[in-house]
Every structure is written in C-alpha cells, then in structure tokens.
Structure 1
Amino acid sequence: MAALTLAASILAWPTGRISLAQAAGGVAVLSLAADIGYFGQPGLVILWYPFETVALLVLLERVVRHVPSRQVGIVGPLTGAAAILLPLRFTLHAPDTGLKESVFAASLALVPAACAMGVGLYLRSLDNRRAHAVALARREQRLEVARDLHDFVAHEVTGIVLEAQAAQLSEDTAPEEHRALLQRIEKAGLRALDSMDQTVTALREAEGRKWGEPPPTRLYGLADLHELVGRFSSMAVAEVALSLEEEVAGTLSREAEDTAYRVVLESLTNIRRHAPRAGRVQVFAGRTADRAVEVSVADHAGPEAPAETLPRSLAGQGGRSHGGTGLVGLTERVSALGGTLEAGPSEHGWRVRCLLPAPAIR
C-alpha cells in the first residue's frame, strides 16, 4: 500500500485514460480500507508509515492544486481523510492501544494534512491568477490588433475607395490628373500593406515575447499630425487646416499621445466616409486654461449638407447602420487615461473634442 501511494504521488497524470482524480481517489479508498482490515504486525509500522504518510501529503497537495473544481470537492476530502486516518492502521490493531490513542494520533496527523491542503490552495490560487492574467493579456492583444486594423488599415482602404470613385466620376479628367490619382491610390495601398505587415508581425512575435509584454506596435503622437493631415488633404476636396501649438507635441505620455493621434485619425476617416462634401476641416491641438491638452476636429459641411451625411460614431448620438465602433472604443481609452471625449453636431457640421488632463502630462 505504501509503494502504491508513493507511485501515485510521483507519477505524472493523466496516464492513459487514468486522471489524477481517479488515481488519488482509488489510492485513498484502498488506504482507508487497509486501515480497517489491516492484518499485519503492528510493530512493522516503522518501515512503511513514513513513506506512505509523505506520499499521501504530496498526493493531497497535488489534488487540491490540480484537480478540476467539479471533482476536487470529492477527491480532496477523501485523500485528506486517508492522510489523517492513516495512524489508525496501527492504533486500531495494536494490543496496547485503544480509542484515546487513535484520536490523539489522528489529531497529530491533522496538522501536516492541513498544511498540505493550505499549500495546495495557495498554489491553486496562484495558478488561477496567472491564467486570468494571461487571458487578459491575450484579450488586450486582440483588442490592440483590432484597433490597429480599424484605425490604420481601414483609414487607408477608405482613401483608396474614394480615390477610385473620384476617378470614375471625373469623365473629362486629363491624363496627368489620372496619373496623379493612380499614384495616390498606389501610395495609400502601400501604406495599408505596411500597416497590415506590422499587425501580422505583432501576431507572429506574440509567442516569443515575455509574459505580459505588450505587442510591438508603433505608437504615433501629436508630432505625426502634419503627415496625417497632409495625406488627408491630398485625397480630399476639403480644405484642411492644422493648428498645432508649439511644444505641445511630446508633452503627453506615449499612450496618451497615441490616443490623441487616433482620435484625429478616426475623426478624419469619419469625415471622409460620412461628410465627403465638407468644404473645410479644422484640426486643433493645444493647451487649455487648466494646462490640459485639447485635441479637436471640426468639419464645416455647410447648411446644404443633409444631416445623414454627418459622422455619427459615438453611442447616444444617432448612428450608422454599419460600423460606429471607432469613437466608442476611443472614448473608453480616453476615459482610462482620465480624459473625456465628446462628439456631436456643431454650428456648421460635426465636431469631435478630446481632453487629456494635466496628470497625464510628463
């Protein structure tokens, strides 16, 4: 019995079709049966008792730590009872011992059994916390990939679609203008491919990164707004004006800078999709009176633009029949940084305004 218990505590389970719960439960039942029906010499206990005691304690710790929740409620107490009642195999059958000695010996065995159970519960809690943290890290990585696909790839693909539509509508366009349209489509397609390559690279390198390390995606900032506005201006008929105050770029944390950039990117993409006849777009980034950083994008669609052409991407502001998740996700991201994001109709069109508070400034 001691050899069988020792083997069960050392072997790796599952072995074949036998799981750890089945092996521990079977050994515990046999141990309890041997306590009642033991017929050997009580004096030989010194030979096997230490080995079987240690084996049962190790088996109890493994059961409490690894057996699934549906089974541990049965197998755990059964294995614990086998470890606590093991001294009865000697005290019940020795001629000089009785009930008092049995109760005393079982009480002594209760202490190491409780310690083994406590170690198992502690390690089980660490395993659960680790599994939960890994699940959260994987979920955050999937959300990051989804944000990159939405913010960058969708932005460039939208530009490609609009350029292609413009080429079809312009029947009297000169060959030089057609060539310029095709060049802009080519550049937008190459940028979309680059963004897709970065996203795929982040996914492929996920297994090689340390646990909890974020994906190596590029972080943009307010200093990149000039390039973003320039690309938008080259692919839109609207007049775009960027007002970027001096020394604002680089004052926020990297995550806050990237969030501010994505707010502008999402706003320009919405204007391109839902307000294509906007005559003027104003992009502003600067400080407020309380030293917070304000980023706003306002389009001037004019009074002749119908209401349904205005971008409505924020929950509670109407909405599109498809999509509409960009500013919703950005609102949660800005809120996590302690800021606010508002979107709604303005005097001449639609306005998105983001405030990032002073504590986020380095």
Structure 2
Amino acid sequence: MGETTPAVPELILGGLPTLVAAVTVIWALARRRAAAHRRLARPTAACALLSLMTTVAVTPHTGAYLKLVEAGLLLPLIAAVARWSPLRELRIAVPLAALAVAAWPAPLVNGSFLERTGVASFWLLPALAAAAIGGYPRHVEQRRRTAVTAARRAQRLQLSRDLHDFVAHDVSGIVVQAQAARFLAPTDPGQAVLALERIEKAGLNALEAMDRTMHMLDDDQELASTSHRPPGIAQLPTLIDDFTALSGTETRLHLPPSAAEAFTLAAPEAGALAYRIVAEALTNIHRHAPRTPRAEVRFSPSPTGMELRVTNEPPDTPSSHPRRPTALRRRGGRGLVALTDDVRARGGTLTAGPHGEGGWCLTAILPLSTSPTKEPKKRPKEPKLPKEPK
C-alpha cells in the first residue's frame, strides 16, 4: 500500500507558496496606489520560484488542493504584473509565474511525458489569458501616449515651420533695412526715413504672422480657419513688392492667369505652400546673395501640376555697384528640408541648386488637387396648375 496521508513537514512545505501568494495578493489589494502595484514583479517571481520548487520536491498528492489555490492566486498576480510592472521585471516574473501555473498538475498525472505536457499546456491557457487581460490596458495606454507624443511633435514642427517661413522672412527684411538706414542716414536722411517705414511694415507683418501661428494652436479651430488663414497666391504680388523695396533686388513675378485660376480651383493648402516656398527662396536670397541684381519667380503649368521656379542672378562685384549692407548671416536652417518634406507629402518634388554662372535656382512641382465644392442644389420643379376652362 502507498502512502496516502502526507507528512506534516511536506504539507507545510506544500502550503508555503500558497501562503506567500495569498499574502502578496492581500498586500496588493490593500495598496491601491499604482506605485505599489509596480513593485509586484519581485514578490510574484518569488512566489513562482517557491511554487516550482515545491512542485518538484514534494511527493504527488501532497496538498494538491493547496496547489490549485496557489495557481488561482498566481493568476491575478500575473495580470497585475503585466499591467503595472516595469518591462525589465515583467519579462522575468510573468514567464516564471505562468510556468508555475502550468506545471503544478504535472506530478499528479500518472502517464507518459506527452500526457503531462498536454495537461501543462491546458493549464498554461489561464496564465496566458491573465497576462493578456493585464497587458491589453497597458498596450492601449502606450498607444495613447505614443499618439499624444506624435501629435505634440507634429504641432511643434508646424509651429517652427510657420515661424521660420513667415516671421524669418520679415525679420531678415528688418535687418536689411536697419543696416540700410544706418548706412544712408549721414548722406540721405530721406531714404533713411523710408527704410524706417519699411521696417515698421515688416515688423507689423511679422506680428501678424506670429498672431496667426498662435491662433493655429488655439482650441477654437473655426476662428483659426476663417479669420487667420495663411497667405496664398493672392498675396504673392505684395510679397514680391516688399522684397524688392527691402532688398533693392529687382524681382519679377510671372503668374499667368491660367496658373492663378488653377490655384483658385485647387485646395487652399496648395496656394499656402507655394507662398511659403517663394518666401523661403527670397529669404535665402536675403541671407546668401544680398547683392544679386535680379530675381525671378515664375509659375508655369506642367504635366503633373504646377511648376514653380525661383531664380536669382549671381551677385554683382563690389566695383560694379555701390556696396549695400548685407543681411544677417546665419548658418543654414531646416527651411528647405521642411518644405521638401511638405511638397513630397503632397506628391510633388522640390530641388535647389546652382543655376547658370554663379546663380541659384529653386524648382518645385506642385500637384494641384481640386478643392471640394458643393454642387448647387437643384430647385424642385413647381407643379403645373390645371388650365382654367375657357
């Protein structure tokens, strides 16, 4: 006859993991703060190791009901660890606890290795379900944090691009005119006064651009989309005139009526992007070629949309023309890089490089998507009245 009544030491040893798991669960329930739950990985791993040791050490049928209770207590611990614990500790505690839950009935099976493996696989399913129950909210929260981080980064990038494209252009003009006023004040006070007027205008434009950018971050999207729209094709003549007055570079705009009509029919974002490209190109002329005598902005239809070319001639030598004050020199920023990304996002291309003998050329191909328009509602036909008898 086999031994049917377990010895007291073996019974105590078999019940020790159950007691430790019960204490851990009670402690976790008493500590409702998330900071306490993040410290559950190590106690859970200790419970799992005790469970595995007793599963191997004690004889079969020694406290089998206690092992079942122990497995039931490990399941909520697995869910809590999968939900709250750090990843480094989670990767150790959860597999150990799952193995302990799967292995507890193996000594009770008097069969082949394959049968024991099947029983262990069956009991592994609740452990995997507990890990999934705890890990799903963690995954959802992580996705939410990633989405919020990406949205904030996109918002910061958009803010920096708007400040660079619009404000930097006006600030460069202010610097040029301030240097010109200082240069002309001793000999021609009248021109210095005109330069101060242009500085005032450029400063007001910069404040308007900053105000528009701030409204883009406002919660009132309707206000931002109606009264603070970014400039587009219609504002290009003013931009060209201001640039010519500020820099002294003769700048010509070639905008055929067909091209202007195409931008009018396209989405508003296309015209705003074209304005930003021209503003960036003129700002770079301010910084890198302040003595260039002529520049040209040309729009022409292309098979894939609209081609925009901004070219400038090589700067004059100091001996051919009087020396003009130069704009503030800075290291190259990310203006063209950001614009290239925006153009590519719309399915177009943007390239910049040397042109002719010492000149520079920026070329952009802008696909023009049609702006959605509402079809006019057809008026219902009025019912015909019966003719009066004669």
Q: What is residue 221 of structure 1 aligned with on the other side?
A: 232
CA distance in structure 2 between the partners assigned to 1:105 and 1:28 by the alignment: 18
Shift of the 37–218 alpha-carbon distance from structure 1 to 2, 3 Å rule, reads farther
Q: Is the 8 A contact 1:240 1:281 kept in 2?
A: yes
TM-score by length of 1: 0.73
Residue 283 of structure 2 is aligned to residue 283 of structure 1: no
Residue 366 of structure 2 is aligned to residue 356 of structure 1: yes
CA distance in structure 2 between the partners assigned to 1:181 and 1:262 by the alignment: 25
RMSD over aligned Cα atoms = 4.0
Q: What is residue 62 of structure 1 aligned with on the other side?
A: 80
**Which stretch of structure 1 is more off in the superposition, 347-356 or 103-112?**
103-112
Q: 2:101 aligns with which of 67, 83, 91?
A: 83
Q: Is the 8 A contact 1:221 1:249 kept in 2?
A: no
Cα deviation, 1:15-34, whole Å, max 9, x if unaligned, reads 46972323433444455577
Residue 26 of structure 2 is aligned to residue 7 of structure 1: yes
| SS of residue paired to 1:248 | helix
Shift of the 98–169 alpha-carbon distance from structure 1 to 2, 3 Å rule, reads closer
Structure 1 residue 167 displacement after superposition: 0.4
Q: Is the 8 A contact 2:37 2:80 kept in 1?
A: no
Q: What is residue 20 of structure 1 aligned with on the other side?
A: 40
| SS of residue paired to 2:350 | strand
Q: What is residue 312 of structure 1 aligned with on the other side?
A: none
CA distance in structure 2 between the partners assigned to 1:219 and 1:32 by the alignment: 67
Cα deviation, 1:9-66, whole Å, max 9, x if unaligned, reads 655455469723234334444555776679xx959769x93xx655532332332344
Q: What is residue 306 of structure 2 aligned with on the other side?
A: 293
Shift of the 299–43 alpha-carbon distance from structure 1 to 2, 3 Å rule, reads closer
Q: Is the 8 A contact 2:44 2:97 kept in 1?
A: yes
| SS of residue paired to 1:242 | strand
Q: Equivalences for 1:267-278 in 2 at 5 Å?
A: 267-278=281-292
Q: What is residue 109 of structure 1 aligned with on the other side?
A: 123
How many matched pairs? 328
CA distance in structure 2 between the partners assigned to 1:297 and 1:231 by the alignment: 16
Percent identity of paired positions between Structure 1 and Structure 2: 38
Q: What is residue 154 of structure 2 aligned with on the other side?
A: 140
CA distance in structure 2 between the partners assigned to 1:284 and 1:238 by the alignment: 16
When Rg is computed on C-alpha atoms for both structures, the one with the higher figure is: 2
Structure 1 residue 324 displacement after superposition: 4.5
Shift of the 198–303 alpha-carbon distance from structure 1 to 2, 3 Å rule, reads closer
**Which stretch of structure 1 is more off in the superposition, 100-109 or 187-196?**
100-109
Q: What is residue 151 of structure 1 aligned with on the other side?
A: 165
Give the letter aligned to residue 292 of structure 1.
G
Cα deviation, 1:83-120, whole Å, max 9, x if unaligned, reads 334558xxx7xxxx665599476444222112233445
Shift of the 43–356 alpha-carbon distance from structure 1 to 2, 3 Å rule, reads closer
Q: Is the 8 A contact 2:304 2:365 kept in 1?
A: no
Q: What is residue 250 of structure 1 aligned with on the other side?
A: 264
| SS of residue paired to 2:248 | coil
Cα deviation, 1:218-274, whole Å, max 9, x if unaligned, reads 544323323322332332312222222330323444444332221101111111222
Q: What is residue 12 of structure 2 aligned with on the other side?
A: none
Give the letter aligned to residue 360 of structure 2.
W
| SS of residue paired to 1:282 | strand
| SS of residue paired to 2:201 | helix
Q: Equivalences for 1:328-343 in 2 at 5 Å?
A: 328-343=337-352
Q: Is the 8 A contact 1:8 1:23 kept in 2?
A: no
Structure 1 residue 287 displacement after superposition: 1.7
Shift of the 238–217 alpha-carbon distance from structure 1 to 2, 3 Å rule, reads same
Residue 188 of structure 2 is aligned to residue 173 of structure 1: yes
Structure 1 residue 166 displacement after superposition: 0.6
Cα deviation, 1:166-225, whole Å, max 9, x if unaligned, reads 1011122244x433322221222233234344545656x5xx799xxxxx9954432332
Q: Is the 8 A contact 1:343 1:353 kept in 2?
A: yes
Q: 1:192 aligns with which of 206, 216, 223?
A: 206
Shift of the 55–184 alpha-carbon distance from structure 1 to 2, 3 Å rule, reads farther
Shift of the 173–353 alpha-carbon distance from structure 1 to 2, 3 Å rule, reads same
Q: Is the 8 A contact 1:13 1:20 kept in 2?
A: no
Give the letter aligned to residue 41 of structure 2.
A
CA distance in structure 2 between the partners assigned to 1:179 and 1:224 by the alignment: 25
Q: What is residue 162 of structure 1 aligned with on the other side?
A: 176
In structure 1, the gaps of 5 or more residues are 211-215, 310-319
CA distance in structure 2 between the partners assigned to 1:43 and 1:78 by the alignment: 20
In structure 2, the gaps of 5 or more residues are 1-18, 222-226, 324-328, 372-390
**Which stretch of structure 1 is more off in the superposition, 138-147 or 155-164?**
138-147
Q: Is the 8 A contact 1:223 1:250 kept in 2?
A: no
CA distance in structure 1 between the partners assigned to 2:360 and 2:147 by the alignment: 40
